[in-house]
Structure 1
Amino acid sequence: MKAESTRRPGCDMKTAVRHLLEHPPREQDIIICSDSQASLATLRGGPAAQTSPLGAAIWEHMAALVAGGDRRVHLQWVPSHCELEGNERVDAIAKEAAALPQQGVPVDVRTVYRAASRMARKEAISNWPDGWYRRLMDGHLPAPLASTTPREVAVDVHQLRAGHWSGSAQYLHRIGRNPGRDCAQCNSLTCRAASCRCCGEEEADTPEHILLRCPALMRLRLRHLGNIHPSEEEVRGSGVVAALGAAARYLQSREAT
């Protein structure tokens, strides 16, 4: 006997097993099919591995289904949307059910926590101001740096992403910490005091210049990315940002010496 589920695999599987308990089948072997590999992988861990009330309930029902006999329950994965008759039928029924009035049901703490986390993440990203960081990250929160990352490297990574790098002559000139011969302080990217100290060209050494265009760092970008003119998406990773920032610091110190 087969009980198939698709739209909400955990809930559908629980309903299928409960239906089998209420209407005991004559067959000894029961095959429960689902197109959710994640749900099957979670259930495969056994009853002790379940971290949600739904998973625990499914295992409880399956244990009751095989109690006192030689009956066996098999959980089988089936691909979705590939014209399997039963699977497509269940999908259609689930869509019809989703349009019906929904009753309030208890929700476990883990589900609430995950939903709140997703909402907070989405809201935080939507509130990012327009600018270099928003364009660079493109809706992706940066992954945490490794705990072994030196503090000075971590600072460079965060500052380069944020667009306010303390190693930038342009940034220091803008805040009055790098006065030029003819200009004490300004916001202009074309001011000579803002020129990149790594490559010596006229372009200001903004984080965008350091990560994407600085000629002095072409070899390093080629080594890490296979491209001397990468896209913003390619330099988003912490490792690439850290390597380019460290190289820029080294070239600046060598130039100063």
Structure 2
Amino acid sequence: MAKEIKLLGVTIDDRLTFNTHIKNVCRKAIAVHQQLCRAAKVSWGLNPEVIKIIYVAVIEPIVLYAASVWAPAASKLGIIKQLRVLQRGIAQKMCKAYRTVSLNSALLLAGILPLDLRIREVALLYEAKKGVAQELLGDREMERMASALDSPHPAARVDLEIGRVMDQEQIDASANSEIKIYTDGSKIEGRVGAAVSIWIGNTETRTLKLALANFCTVYQAELLAICRATKEIRRSTAESFGIYSDSMAALQTVKNHGCLHPLAVETRDNLKAISRQAKIVNLYWIKAHAGIEGNERADALAKEAAINSKKKPDYDLCPVSFVKRHARMVTLDEWNHRYNTGQTASITKMFFPDAVAAYRTIRKVGMNAIRTQIMTGHGGFSEYLNRFKCKENPSCICDPNTLETVPHILLDCPIFAQERYTIECELDTRIQKDKIGEIIKGRNRIKFLEYCENLANKTIKRNKNTV
């Protein structure tokens, strides 16, 4: 009897440990990493952004394939260790770090999350999409895509075209519809609303205000408004209609029969029923805030619906984006806990004391080899060179009893007192250890990093001449 089978690319063992599967995907991902190693070194080779694209588009999908099946196995220490070994080398390449840099520092400076947490995140999102109850959703119901099996046959589909209108004059010039219906959605003060404004000629005859749950998106609001407009058309006795929306994304979703969003599917069903009633409906995209009276009116109504509505929401299905956002928050909190409680990355923590803030900031920093050396302490500094037997003396030339480390160079070394005084005047703040994190997050980040690079380059050049 076979103890393992391979089903759709997943190796399943008789004890459901998935050890073999994880070992195989790690081996496959490491093979890609080894190819990268030949073309990416600390001082030359592939740009870090290129390496990150390869990681996100190739390596991560290899590991995350069918993660919802074997996600529980990723919490075992042995599996986590394998994933860390894989990810550490790749993260070091992304931020141009030395091989001695810790996993915590490499991941943070590369701007990527631990693989075991990403596996858990992907599995959670898949389960939520399939309707499995999730703690983070509470009593909310997930918005699920319609089944492709319920889609109409291509021959039975209603072909839709989207016109473009830029101003009121174009609407007046092409007024070939008995009834014009303007739709809009709005999110304001954390609340969401949608509106439908119905016009005959130059007179507004009816309005609809629609409330959505606070966790809904403007995209959902725009789709809901268009859907309700088609419902009104089904009830109307007129023969020609124009639906005007300033959301091209919503209109394209309705037009695309391959998109199975429930509101888009319902809208297309309504349009199909309308065509059987021998009514004509034209869809138009209009430029927002261009002085078009109907659009401005729909926008005002949507904001009123969002702010003032106290009724039960007309639409309260939880969007996928809400689940993604909250799943990412859980992942970042766990990563931050690991980062802060870890025994490594002490120099990195001086620049980035909080991993959550760093994850949002690091892409603005523009990492390169010298900045990575500064933020890890692993570079051409006497203390580091002495640790790996590359230099006899770990002390700074300013004082034989003081180690030449990154904090010493940036904060205390009297050799760089003039540079330090200049940057403190420019930033209007003292350069202190507990203030560096705030400086990195602020507007003066670039000036401070240039100061750091200047001092580091001088130190590294001096040490090269003395090694």
| TM-score, L = length of structure 1 | 0.54
User: 8 Å contact 2:381–2:463 — kept in the other structure?
Assistant: no
Q: Give the Å deviation of 1:48.
A: 0.8
User: 8 Å contact 2:182–2:294 — kept in the other structure?
Assistant: yes
Instruction: Kindly provide the amino acid, as one letter, of the partner of residue 222 in structure 2.
Output: P
Greater fraction of residues in strand:
2
Q: Give the Å deviation of 1:256.
A: 5.2
Q: Give the Å deviation of 1:205.
A: 11
2:184 pairs with 1:6: yes
2:381 pairs with 1:169: yes
Q: 1:4 to 1:61 in 2, by over 3 A?
A: same
Per-residue Cα deviation, 1:200-234 (whole angstroms, up to 9, x for no partner): x636999xx9xxxxxxxxxxxxxxxxxxxx96359
Instruction: Kindly provide the amino acid, as one letter, of the partner of residue 182 in structure 2.
Output: E
**Counterpart Cα distance in 1 of 2:316 and 2:283:** 28
2:245 pairs with 1:34: yes
Q: From 282, 287, 291, give the equivalent of 1:83.
A: 291
Gaps of 5+ in 2: 1-178, 186-220, 341-348, 388-392, 424-442
Q: Residue 326 of structure 2 corresponds to which residue in structure 1?
A: 116
**Counterpart Cα distance in 2 of 1:59 and 1:171:** 69
**Counterpart Cα distance in 2 of 1:170 and 1:3:** 73
Gaps of 5+ in 1: 145-152, 193-200, 210-229, 237-243
Per-residue Cα deviation, 1:229-256 (whole angstroms, up to 9, x for no partner): x9635999xxxxxxx9xx8998578545
2:399 pairs with 1:190: no
Q: Give the Å deviation of 1:32.
A: 1.4
Instruction: Kindly provide the amino acid, as one letter, of the partner of residue 166 in structure 1.
Output: H
**Counterpart Cα distance in 2 of 1:204 and 1:168:** 22
Q: Residue 73 of structure 1 corresponds to which residue in structure 2?
A: 282
User: 8 Å contact 2:380–2:460 — kept in the other structure?
Assistant: no
Which one has more relative contact order, counting CA pairs under 8 Å at least 6 apart?
Answer: 2
- Tell me the SS of whatever aligns to 2:227: helix
Q: 1:101 to 1:202 in 2, by over 3 A?
A: same
Q: Residue 262 of structure 2 corresponds to which residue in structure 1?
A: 53
Q: Give the Å deviation of 1:94.
A: 1.8
**Counterpart Cα distance in 1 of 2:413 and 2:234:** 78
Q: Residue 202 of structure 1 corresponds to which residue in structure 2?
A: 416
User: 8 Å contact 2:239–2:278 — kept in the other structure?
Assistant: no
Q: 1:19 to 1:158 in 2, by over 3 A?
A: farther
**Counterpart Cα distance in 2 of 1:191 and 1:69:** 84
User: 8 Å contact 1:168–1:205 — kept in the other structure?
Assistant: no
Q: 1:143 to 1:183 in 2, by over 3 A?
A: same
Per-residue Cα deviation, 1:91-140 (whole angstroms, up to 9, x for no partner): 2222222211142544245143244257669989xx999974489x8993
Q: Give the Å deviation of 1:11.
A: 1.7
User: 8 Å contact 1:53–1:108 — kept in the other structure?
Assistant: no
Instruction: Kindly provide the amino acid, as one letter, of the partner of residue 65 in structure 1.
Output: I
**Counterpart Cα distance in 1 of 2:401 and 2:233:** 82
Q: Residue 240 of structure 1 corresponds to which residue in structure 2?
A: none
Q: 1:131 to 1:250 in 2, by over 3 A?
A: closer
Q: From 92, 95, 105, give the equivalent of 2:303.
A: 95
Q: 1:107 to 1:25 in 2, by over 3 A?
A: same
Q: 1:190 to 1:11 in 2, by over 3 A?
A: same
Count of residue pairs the alignment pairs up: 203
- Tell me the SS of whatever aligns to 1:166: coil
**Counterpart Cα distance in 2 of 1:168 and 1:205:** 20
Instruction: Kindly provide the amino acid, as one letter, of the partner of residue 32 in structure 1.
Output: I
**Counterpart Cα distance in 1 of 2:180 and 2:332:** 39
Q: Give the Å deviation of 1:4.
A: 0.8
Instruction: Kindly provide the amino acid, as one letter, of the partner of residue 202 in structure 1.
Output: F
User: 8 Å contact 2:244–2:286 — kept in the other structure?
Assistant: yes
Q: Residue 395 of structure 2 corresponds to which residue in structure 1?
A: 179
Percent identity of paired positions between Structure 1 and Structure 2: 15
Instruction: Kindly provide the amino acid, as one letter, of the partner of residue 140 in structure 1.
Output: R
- Tell me the SS of whatever aligns to 2:284: strand
- Tell me the SS of whatever aligns to 1:6: strand
User: 8 Å contact 2:180–2:242 — kept in the other structure?
Assistant: yes
- Tell me the SS of whatever aligns to 1:43: helix
Q: Residue 148 of structure 1 corresponds to which residue in structure 2?
A: none
**Counterpart Cα distance in 1 of 2:394 and 2:418:** 13
RMSD: 5.2
- Greater mean deviation of Cα atoms: 2-11 or 64-73: 64-73
| TM-score, L = length of structure 2 | 0.33
2:259 pairs with 1:43: no
Q: 1:3 to 1:107 in 2, by over 3 A?
A: same
